[in-house]
Amino acid sequence: MASVRDFSVSAFFTGFGSFSFMLLLPIRVEQLGFDRIAIGMVLSSYAVAVLLFSPLWGYFSDRSGRRKPFLILGYLIFSGGSLLLITAQTIPELMAFRFLQGVGFAAHPMLVALFTDHFGSEATRRFGTLSGLEALGWGIGSLTAGFLADQLSIQVAFATAAMWPLVSAALVYGRLPESRPETRQTSPTPTGAAPPEAFPKKLFFLYGTVFVRMSSAIALWSMLPLYLMMFVENLTQAGAVNAVNMLMQPLFMIWLGKYAEPLGRLRLVMWGIFGTVLTFWLYASAAQVWQILLGQITISLSWAAIVIGMNTYVMATASKHVRGKAFGYLTSSIMIAMAVGPMLGSTLAAALSIRGMIFIVSLLMLPSLPLLIRLRMLDQRAGVAAEVTPE
């Protein structure tokens, strides 16, 4: 039986590789002489790819009963797209190779689906460790990328980051189990009995909540590397400030993962949204780097609450034979936001300023709350009080 550590280390190296590009790609596009609208276009191409392919990988993994082949293939594609991105000099090339990265990363949600298949009712309590180690990879990846870019070049940092998904692919192949989802019911439905629901439709309220929140958040994150350069002297310092968020997340995720059920999964998501709004106001009003650092700590707690809340809710709500699709849709809701967010952030930043953009997108996050409240009402009406029990 695979351990939580085996899954977590695989997630760690994936986060290590992927976040290097999130930090450095906006700066690379600007170095090539393109404007902020072009940055938004390049970042959105990745999100569009993940949006299109996450449900597809989820559908095929559910139908085939296999998760590992899609994970391994996805990590290999991501690595190949990363190496090609080093050579890109034009916007079409940058968009095409970033899109290819997205095609590969779209398979990553199958790791959470496989984790849930394997650990069953224990998965929600153990998920904090998995997500925490992935966040740790993001943080160390950010630190490493900034240092390598300063000491050598952004291209060297990209080449290094491209290698880590290959480590994840090897770990998935050698260390993780294969889990076959339970087969669908093939016998006729008894007379008078309701057919089993193939997919819990109420999850779309959660997906909508995540989309609205993340659209505003990604608008900020797409411009954050440029914003950080107003407070620091070099890319190493920018990477270090950026890494504080991810390095704090493992502590919060492991803690919240243990207490997600008594705290309330959907309640965690709501707290995370409020915390994000307040943090964005702190970012926008910051005059010194210590205020940005304080915001990095509060945003790490807010995002940890959202990640634990939304993922454990899907784990507990989606039955095993639709779990790949459920996590694929969850990732798609984030990726629609990642397609919309960069264009929103770059347009507002170009028209106003980065500070003005941050204030506006913090307010645009609030419409996510009615969708979340509606989902809680549906659960309460069904008598589960928003806290369903895993299978």
- pLDDT tens-digit map of 333-377: 877 787 788 778 878 888 888 888 888 988 998 999 999 999 888
Residues 273-286 pLDDT 10s: 999 999 999 988 88
Is residue 391 very low, low, confident or very high in pLDDT (cuts 50, 70, 90)?
very low
pLDDT at residue 182 in the model: 45
Averaged over 200-229, what is the pLDDT?
84
Total Cβ atoms within 10 A of residue 58:
28
Which two structure tokens, joined as six digits, stand for 28? Answer: 């690379």
Q: How confident is the model at residue 225 (pLDDT cuts 50, 70, 90)?
A: confident
- pLDDT at residue 190 in the model: 39
Residue 20 contacts by C-beta under 8 Å, 6 or more apart in sequence? Answer: 141, 142, 144, 145, 157, 158, 160, 161
pLDDT reported for residue 216: 87
DSSP-derived letter for residue 32 is: T
pLDDT above 70: percentage of residues in the chain = 89
Distance between CA 339 and CA 353 in Å, rounded?
20
Please tell me the predicted confidence (pLDDT) of residue 273. Answer: 93
Domain range annotation of the chain: 4-179+200-382
Percent of the chain with pLDDT over 90: 6
Count Cβ atoms within 10 A of the Cβ of residue 233 and give its class: 0-12 exposed, 13-18 middle, 19 or more buried. Answer: exposed
Residues 6+ apart with CB under 8 A from 27: 149, 154, 225, 226, 229, 235
Report helix, strand or coil for 144. Answer: helix
**Per-residue model confidence (pLDDT) at position 131:** 75
State the CATH architecture for 4-179+200-382.
Answer: Up-down Bundle (1.20)
- Short-list 305, 164, 303, CA closest to 245: 303
Among 35, 106, 104, which Cα is nearest to 343's?
Answer: 35
Q: What is the pLDDT of residues 39-77, one digit of tens each?
A: 778 877 887 887 788 778 877 877 777 788 888 998 999
- Alpha carbon distance 49, 101 (integer Å): 8
Q: What confidence category does residue 20 fall into, taking pLDDT thresholds of 50, 70 and 90?
A: low
Q: What is the pLDDT of residues 234-272, one digit of tens each?
A: 777 777 787 777 778 778 887 887 777 778 888 899 999
DSSP 69: H
Under a CB-based contact definition with an 8 Å cutoff, are residues 67 and 324 in contact? Answer: yes
Instruction: Label residue 176 left, alpha or beta by phi (over 0 means left) and psi (-120 to 50 means alpha).
Output: beta
